[in-house]
């Protein structure tokens, strides 16, 4: 999420390589496909019609998740602090961020906002500001989703420690992500853990993974929250009189 990711851009996929990670997934796309499957399931659950919705992926990097789902949405946009990472997104609509705590969009713009493995790169004091920005640009009734590595999973911890792009990572628990969303005046809906099984076993064990989704042992988790339909008007941290509670 930081401009320093410019120096990782050319070799980003290679820098993510890890023997354990490589054994877990037959292709790197597996991790993004699993995230997309979880998002699709949740959208069905809440009755969101992506073809009539606008989606923002905060900290989109090279656009891997957007590229899977963009055609399903009425509009799909990514933003990132790294201009070099966004150079890989020529086939997508993207916007360069100038600050980690500010999103360059008007209030009430998106129906779905995702932040995939972004928060562990954000300083703890900046996380509430970023979450407020997500809430600000989210439409009333829209969904915010934080997707993060699960610090309770020892294999995840090991991989993160060995990954160069995560040298500054500070993993956060699901309850911390939940509290960030609640503090931004969003209504918490669900926490879901996933990535319990490697790609070769996922399909035959998909039902079991669904049953395990409330147990904090999967490799990653998703926290969903919704913006209330009616929110009071207040002045946000930029000093603007926007409709409330914004932030990735």
Digits of tens for pLDDT over the chain (248 positions)? Answer: 445 555 544 555 554 566 777 888 888 899 999 999 999 999 999 999 999 999 999 999 999 999 999 999 999 999 999 999 999 999 999 999 999 999 999 999 999 999 999 999 999 999 999 999 999 999 999 999 999 999 999 999 998 888 777 778 899 999 999 999 999 999 999 999 999 999 989 889 999 999 999 999 999 999 999 999 976 544 343 434 444 333 33
Report helix, strand or coil for 204: coil
Q: Which residues pair with 78 in a beta bridge?
A: 57, 94
Report helix, strand or coil for 191: strand
Question: What region does 72 belong to: left with phi over 0, alpha with psi -120 to 50, or beta?
Answer: alpha
C-alpha span between 79 and 55 (Å, rounded): 11
Please provide residue 209's backbone torsions phi and psi, each rounded to the nearest 5 degrees. -65, -35
Q: What is the pLDDT of residue 241?
A: 41
- Name the packing angle between helices 127-137 and 174-183 (round to 10°): 60
Q: What is the pLDDT of residue 202?
A: 86
- Residue 85 has, within 13 A of its CA and on its CB side, a CA count of 27
């Amino acid at each position: 999420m930081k401009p320093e990711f410019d120096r990782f851009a050319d070799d980003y996929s290679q820098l993510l390589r890890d023997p354990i990670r490589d054994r877990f997934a037959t292709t790197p796309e597996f991790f993004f496909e699993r995230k997309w499957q979880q998002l699709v399931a949740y959208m069905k659950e809440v009755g969101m019609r992506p073809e009539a919705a606008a989606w923002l992926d905060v900290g989109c990097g090279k656009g891997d998740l957007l590229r899977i789902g963009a055609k399903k949405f009425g509009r799909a946009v990514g933003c990132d602090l790294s201009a070099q990472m966004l150079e890989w997104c020529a086939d997508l609509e993207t916007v360069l961020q100038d600050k980690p705590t500010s999103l360059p969009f008007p209030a009430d713009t998106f129906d779905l906002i995702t932040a995939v493995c972004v928060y562990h790169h954000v300083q703890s004091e900046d996380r509430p500001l970023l979450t407020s920005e997500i809430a600000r640009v989210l439409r009333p009734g829209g969904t915010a989703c934080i997707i993060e590595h699960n610090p309770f999973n020892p294999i995840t911890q090991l991989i993160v420690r060995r990954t160069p792009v995560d040298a500054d990572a500070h993993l956060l628990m699901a309850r911390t992500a939940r509290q960030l969303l609640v503090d931004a005046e969003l209504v918490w809906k669900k926490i879901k853990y996933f990535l319990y099984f490697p790609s070769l076993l996922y399909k035959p064990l998909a039902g079991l993974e669904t049953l395990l989704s409330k147990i904090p042992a999967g490799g990653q988790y998703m926290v969903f929250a919704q913006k209330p339909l009616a929110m009071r008007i207040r002045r946000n941290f930029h000093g603007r009189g926007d409709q409330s509670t914004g932030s990735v």
